[in-house]
Chain A
Amino acid sequence: MDYLLTEEQKMIVELSWKFAREKIAPLAAHYDETEEFPWEIIRELAETDLFGIFIPQEYGGLGGGVFEMCLVVEQLSRACGGIALAYAATALGTFPILLFANEEQKKKYLPDIAAGKKLAAFALTEANAGSDASAIQTSARRETDYYILNGTKQWITNGGEAEIYTVIALTDKSRGSRGASAFILEKGMPEFTFGKKEKKMGIRASTTRELIFQDCRVPRENLLGKEGMGFLITMKTLDASRPGVAAQAVGIAQGALDEALKYARERVQFGQPISSFQAIQHMLADMATQIEAARALVYATARMIDSGAREYSKESAMGKLYASDVAMKVAIDAVQIFGGYGYMRDYPVEKRIRDVKITQIYEGTNQIQRNVIALELIKEAARHQI
């Protein structure tokens, strides 16, 4: 489908897909097996300037927006959702800075991210605070020119590999959801350490770790925005980055469909390629249609965000919800089309099921997404009745 991309957007898609095909695809199975962080691929990605896509030009980026970021994530994810995640999670960790940082903070942190020299991460989740983000316990106590952080964040993507972290901590327990603040931390700050690397079902090339703060002193200048803005920053960040997760799901699904289609045309049973059987054709048709619908929803949402819309929680949630659910189904159907070969790890398709499952869970479970959508619908209905 022609989404009427500009010349520059077409270049971005072309370059990202070329990178995915030539640099990521040949190594996807290797990194899935070894669970190492793919630094060599990240360094090469940095040289293409793609890390700077969504960062303004004055900080060394290319001045694109959420849409361009989604274009990159989708193409990279076609080859491997896990490796693409190092990029997508950096975008997530950069949005708080893009949206809420002051000039000094932007000048300090954005150029290195744009150049691909440093990766970023976003740290909200804790052992007792997943969907219930307001239950976080990591605290930040103010002491003259520092904030002292204590607590543990769990399941942070790029944890330990990133240099720049946005951490959400409570500065005032008594104020409930107005009591959290956002801080920029750097790897290497004293008493900021990392827990063990998690062993995951999929996206194994992505590194997920605990972040541990034990009286970690963070300079006052590293507070993002004002005290109490923590959850606002979180919500706005997730609204903007959710299309990225949706794009990752679309990319993984597209890759699965491409593989299934290729296999169906080559595999001969009963004297014919299985692509000539209606059962297979109908599966492929459904897969393709749903992917296209998901893609259209994600693109529309991303463009809406970039056009300056002030409210987009509902659309952002819809895109993430739909794309991840579609991608899960597509991945499972792809394995089904491969038959017995689909179950074997020597073939690339089972990895897609393992990889794409997380898209239904992270950045807000799909159950939370449904909550968000329903609440927005009700709010809108109430507004129109007045």
Chain B
Amino acid sequence: MHIIVCIKQVPSTTQVKIDPVTHTLIREGGIINPFDTYALEEGVRIRERMGGKVTVISMGPPPAVESLREAISLGADEAVLLSDPAFAGADTLATSYTLSRGIRKIGQFDLIICGKQAMDGDTAQVGPGIAEHLNIPFVTWVRKIEEIREGYIRVQRLMEDSYEVIEMSLPALITVVKEINVPRLPSLKAMLRAKKMSLPIWTANDLDVDRSRVGLNGSPTKVIQTFTPPIRGKGEILTGPVKESAKVLVEKLRERKIL
């Protein structure tokens, strides 16, 4: 089984900086996106059960290579970084396109695992985007892999108060939720291995990309502004007997189309 795990390096929450011109995040190192740690753990578990290899791929500026090293210390076998100034400022369409080119270059795979969404963008679009670019089936919000074998996978997709059981042929892509597993801590041997490994960095020249589809140029979505929303007004306090207040509350929620 060759499993590819897509990870993203995101700012650790105390250091968020926005570029004043492009309104996008200034990326200066950080942590592995938390949802991606579940994806990586699941990939490593499958390899432990069935044999094979886990390759981690990420698109980001040079500091992102540290997150790839961290992924190796958490059990990944190999890692590759897609990094090029041309890739910067990408929205989810350009990002998923670029990653799909990187995966094409990696070669044969059975399963791609992504985290549900990235903590900084919160769009949850890149996983499905990659699958579409690669023309493979995908299921999102996977809470459990029921069965996986050569050419076949059956998963549980988490819904609000239930789950669906879906089967697909491999190769395929899944995005996972945190209910799927408890990620391990790094092991010292893997940490030492990660430190010594030289990790490949692929630029736009190394990949077979259409330059008009990567980076800011390849992004139909433009970020106009990123701002902290103003603090809301005081709000309204409902007094009086609970039954009456409840009726008033329901009316107000209906007015705002929340109910």
Contacts and interface: CB of A to CB of B under 8 A. Distances in A.
Interface residues of A, number: 17
Contacts of B187: 47-49
A244 B190 CA distance: 25
Contact of B186 (A15, A23, A62): A15
Given A7-B195, A11-B195, A18 B188 contact: no
A19 B185 CA distance: 7
A380 interface: no
Nearest to B191: A11
Interface residues on B, range: 10 to 19
A43 to B, nearest CB: 11
A44 interface: yes
A330 B188 CA distance: 32
Contacts of A346: none
A50 interface: yes
B256 interface: no
B188 A23 contact: no
A106 to B, nearest CB: 20
A15 B187 CA distance: 8
A48 B195 CA distance: 16
Interface of A is mostly: helix
A12 interface: yes
A23 B192 CA distance: 22
A15 B188 CA distance: 8
Contacts of B184: 44, 47
B189 interface: yes
Interface in B178-203: 184-192, 195
Interface in B141-189: 184-189
Given A7-B195, A11-B195, A23 B189 contact: no
Contacts of A19: 185
A260 B56 CA distance: 43
Contacts of B185: 15, 18-19, 22-23, 44, 47-48
Nearest to B192: A8
Interface string A55-92: 00000001000000000000000000000000000000
Interface string A17-43: 011001100000000000000000000
Interface in B120-135: none
Nearest to A68: B188
A120 interface: no
A23 B182 CA distance: 12
A47 B187 CA distance: 6
A53 interface: yes
Contact of B188 (A7, A12, A22, A44): A12
B188 to A, nearest CB: 4
Contacts of A23: 185
Interface centre among B186, B187, B188, by most chain A C-beta atoms within 10 angstroms, is B188
A93 B159 CA distance: 52
Contacts of B189: 49, 62
Contacts of A53: 188
A7 B192 CA distance: 10
B2 to A, nearest CB: 23
A49 B188 CA distance: 5
B190 to A, nearest CB: 8
Contacts of A49: 187-190
A203 to B, nearest CB: 24
A47 B188 CA distance: 9
B230 to A, nearest CB: 31
Q: Which of B185, B187, B190, B191 has the most CB of A within 10 A?
A: B185
A209 B189 CA distance: 34
A285 B187 CA distance: 36
A23 B191 CA distance: 19
Contact of B192 (A11, A44, A50): A11
Contacts of B190: 49
Contacts of A18: 185
A52 B189 CA distance: 10
Interface in B193-239: 195
Nearest to A62: B188
A22 B189 CA distance: 20
A53 B191 CA distance: 13
A47 B73 CA distance: 12
B194 to A, nearest CB: 10
Contacts of A62: 188-189, 192
A23 B185 CA distance: 9
Q: Which residue, A8, A12, A19, A48, has most C-beta atoms of chain B within 10 A?
A: A48
Contacts of B192: 8, 11, 62
Interface in B74-90: none
Nearest to A16: B188
B162 to A, nearest CB: 31
B178 to A, nearest CB: 15
Contacts of B188: 11-12, 15, 48-50, 52-53, 62
A354 B188 CA distance: 32
Nearest to A46: B187
Contacts of B191: 11, 15
Contacts of B195: 7, 11
8 contacts: A12-B188, A18-B185, A22-B185, A47-B185, A48-B188, A49-B190, A50-B188, A53-B188
Interface of B: 184-192, 195
Given A12-B188, A47-B185, A62-B192, 12 more contacts: A7-B195, A8-B192, A11-B188, A11-B195, A15-B185, A19-B185, A22-B185, A44-B184, A48-B188, A49-B189, A50-B188, A62-B189
Sorted nearest first, the 3 A-B pairs with minimum C-beta distance are A49-B188, A49-B187, A49-B189
